[in-house]
Structure 1
């Protein structure tokens, strides 16, 4: 699709961002009808794309059969947590861009701590289950649902407790961040004493090839 941001793709396809995220990371498999609707919408946005619906339907059936396997309690817990994080993103940041009404300070603080802890636990659970796609999906969802301060707190928790790979995955989960968003996250990390992590976020945002922007 011509649009680069996942949110824009979801809006064009007419499906929730959390649903597209789940399809993208393999946590869910679309129905035949949903796949057909997505395929048609993509072809309308990019007319040169060949008709591949039959091939995609075969892949969808294979994925559906694979997803009928028994899921361990650890994986199930991680999937539910990822979906809660993703759904929080869709509910809080609607396409209108309006900011939700402010809650009392003590409720807001409790909710923020809950989201941070849930993100950390979900990442560790997915990693323990060997679910690499789950780790990527949780990090992507968290980058949309959490504030810069929440991301910083979650990353600090992971790095402090020896989960540096998960901390890196979390910070790089929002590769689609704009310039201003990237700078704000980097500043938040620096203020928290996570200078190396701020450099990681800034390096990831640099144009590939190392050339200077005109």
Structure 2
């Protein structure tokens, strides 16, 4: 096992041959970054260290959007790296086709692409430093703040065993956040291993009208959260079935 912060060499034990091939090429891309520690690389990319570690060992395969964002970010900090996105994407698709379906929390990473694109767009950092903040970061920070605050509050309430608090926070968020922000917050919860909180957040606005329900479902579908979109639509059906009297 690698020391904390260092880069390990082992792959996930359940990797298929196709996934191993993809993971090896993904490692080549990440290894081209000037930072030596995995945590520093993850910080520059704007994703959690655990997420990058799961990508590194092949336990998770990112979406096309996330892979593209990571590829572009690496090339910004390591300009000498050749464009290899097309080849990586072919390997990624093959890896996913030859791997058992993963749960929603492992495929709900559309938000990561937006985060990478935002945080890694600054000039290349020196060794051991993160991306610089600027006007684009400031504009994005307010939206990120609302989403992050909602996610943290829900997790904190659940950890404290405050079920009523979870319900109240989810209900308030359903009123205060846009459809895109709700989608992003739910994606973060599923991705961080809190599917119950993600479901609570999406179902907290059961009294929302038909138009709002459809807009939220479409937003979820566009983000790749098709299972969650179905959940929202099913919850909006009249009790006892979908047929009208």
- TM-score normalized with structure 1 length: 0.50
Q: Which has the higher helix share?
A: 1
- TM-score normalized with structure 2 length: 0.43
Give the greater-gyration-radius structure (CA): 2
